[in-house]
């Protein structure tokens, strides 16, 4: 159902032995679990970085279906070209929020946490918080986080647990009983993983088992970019999830729902 090999990015392959050991330890420890097992099927749509097409092409698709997603941004990428494509613009941030979507943090600089000391990690989080306050308003605080490249150090996981409601990894799978709230799993729908990920089976399993599926894409376009999802695939996945009866909400709102279920 799920592809292998998502958990080791280029930065980790280049990292020191200490970095690789930190990743191994971080992925095996949980500072906080999902408050209660989902109990019913949820689905969250998430977009990382954010390539401009995730909003200009993905946004209208979500709007047609009356859905809201989680967009994880790095402040330093605003208005730039990254991985050979245009990224979101500052004005897009307010539009994304106005449409009811969640804006989450992806660190200010799009860097692996394995390359950062604890103090550098704190600074990256703080820089992105400051960027979003300037862009959105002084009261704004991102509520969930996505690790750049999916690379997790022990210090990063501990710090993110203290700062965010939940953190999302790139480890494949569903989130069910005992899921790690600091390392939420995903179903990737970008081109690079499409051939080896059975999204239909993942959606069916989430509905059958009352689990939480989090879809991950970057761009939404027909360029064939490895880290893009064609609009037709996004449409098909949404329609399949709706037909399966999954409740589709941003990441932080699913956590809110599960937290309230505990009380």
Q: What is the pLDDT of residues 163-208, one digit of tens each?
A: 999 999 999 999 998 899 999 999 999 999 988 999 999 999 999 9
pLDDT of the residue at 94? 95
Residue 226 has pLDDT above 90, yes or no: yes
pLDDT of the residue at 38? 86
Q: What is the pLDDT of residues 15-66, one digit of tens each?
A: 677 777 888 899 998 999 998 888 889 999 999 999 999 999 999 999 999 9
Output the CA–CA distances (angstroms, integers) from residue 47 to 104, 109, 120, 162, in the order listed: 10, 17, 25, 23
Q: What three-state secondary structure class fits 100?
A: coil
Q: What is the pLDDT of residues 102-138, one digit of tens each?
A: 999 999 999 999 999 999 999 999 999 999 999 999 9
Tokens of 97: 């929020």
Domains and CATH numbers, the chain: 10-262 (3.20.20.370)
Residue 4 has pLDDT above 50, yes or no: no
Output the CA–CA distances (angstroms, integers) from residue 219 to 35, 55, 244, in the order listed: 31, 8, 25
What is the β-pairing status of strands 42-49 and 70-73? parallel
Tokens of 147: 């690790």
Tokens of 32: 């906080």
Overall average pLDDT of the 153-168 stretch: 97
Q: Which of 51, 232, 250, 245 minimizes the C-alpha distance to 168?
A: 250
Q: Which residues contact 113 (CB under 8 A, 6 or more apart)?
A: 107, 121, 147, 148, 151, 152, 153, 155, 156
Residue 236 has pLDDT above 90, yes or no: yes
Residue 143 has pLDDT above 80, yes or no: yes
Overall average pLDDT of the 222-247 stretch: 98
pLDDT of the residue at 20? 79
């Amino acid at each position: 159902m799920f592809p292998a090999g998502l958990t080791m990015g280029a930065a980790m392959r280049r990292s020191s032995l200490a970095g690789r050991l930190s990743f191994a330890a971080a992925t095996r420890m949980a500072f906080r679990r999902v408050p209660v097992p989902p109990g019913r099927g949820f689905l969250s749509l998430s977009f990382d970085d954010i390539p401009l097409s995730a909003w200009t092409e993905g946004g209208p698709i979500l709007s047609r279906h009356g859905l809201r997603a989680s967009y994880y941004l790095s402040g330093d990428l605003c208005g730039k070209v990254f991985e050979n494509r245009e990224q979101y613009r500052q004005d897009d941030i307010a539009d994304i929020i106005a449409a009811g979507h969640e804006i989450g943090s992806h660190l200010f600089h799009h860097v692996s946490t394995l390359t950062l000391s604890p103090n550098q990690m704190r600074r990256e989080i703080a820089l992105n918080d400051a960027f979003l306050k300037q862009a959105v308003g002084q009261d704004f605080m991102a509520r969930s986080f996505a690790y750049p490249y999916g690379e997790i150090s022990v210090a990063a996981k501990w710090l993110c647990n203290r700062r965010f409601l939940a953190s999302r990894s790139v480890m494949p799978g569903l989130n069910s009983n005992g899921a790690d709230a600091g390392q939420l799993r995903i179903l990737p729908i970008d081109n690079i993983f499409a051939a080896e990920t059975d999204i239909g089976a993942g959606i069916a399993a989430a509905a059958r088992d009352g689990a939480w599926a989090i879809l991950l894409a970057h761009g939404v376009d027909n360029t064939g970019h490895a880290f893009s999802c064609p609009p037709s695939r996004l449409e098909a996945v949404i329609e399949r999830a709706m037909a399966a009866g999954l409740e589709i909400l941003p990441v932080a709102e699913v956590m809110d729902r599960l937290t309230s279920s505990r009380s």
